[in-house]
Amino acid sequence: MSTQIIHRNMGQVIQEEEEEDRISRLPDELLSHILSYLDSDAAVQTSVLSKRWVNLWTTLPSLLFKTNTQYFNSDNYDLGCKFITNFLNSRNQDTVLSTIKVHCIKSNDECISALCLDYALANNVENLRLCGGKFRDAICLESDSLKTLHLTWCGKFQPIDDWVLPSLNSLYLRHVWFGDHVSGFENLKELTLSGCSECWWNFEGDFTINCVNLERLALGPDISHCDMAVFAPKLSYFEFRSGHVPQFSAGDGFPCIKEVDIDIELRNDDFGGLSEDDEYRMASAMPNFISMLDAVRETPVLKLSSETIQFLRRVPDLSEYQPSPLCNLKFLYLQGLDEIPSRSTDYVINYLLSNSPHAEILKGNLGRNQKFVRIDHYITDL
Torsion of CA 146, 147, 151, 155, to 10 degrees: 40
**Counting beta carbons within 10 angstroms of the beta carbon of residue 263, is it exposed (0 to 12), middle (13 to 18) or buried (19 or more)?**
buried
Taking only the tens place, the pLDDT of each residue in 133-171 is 778 777 889 999 999 999 998 888 888 888 999 999 999
Distance from CA of residue 73 to its chain's centroid?
A: 28
CB-CB neighbours of 185 under 10 Å: 21
Q: What integer is the mean pLDDT of 361-375?
A: 52
**Cα separation of 123 and 128, whole Å?**
12
Q: Which pLDDT belongs to residue 27? A: 87
| DSSP conformation class of 328 | S
Q: What was the pLDDT predicted at 80?
A: 78
Average confidence (pLDDT) over 185-190: 96
Burial class of residue 35, CB neighbours in 10 A (0-12, 13-18, 19+): buried
Give the pLDDT confidence of 19-29 residue by residue, as tens digits: 446 777 788 88
CB 72 within 8 A of CB 105: yes
Report which residue type is found at 281: R
pLDDT digits 0-9 by tens, 230-285: 999 999 999 999 888 888 899 888 999 999 999 988 764 444 445 455 556 666 78
d(CA 223, CA 203): 13
Residue 124 has pLDDT above 90, yes or no: yes
Closest CA relative to residue 223, chosen from 250, 252, 247, 193: 193
Rounded to whole angstroms, how far apart are CA atoms 159 and 76?
A: 32
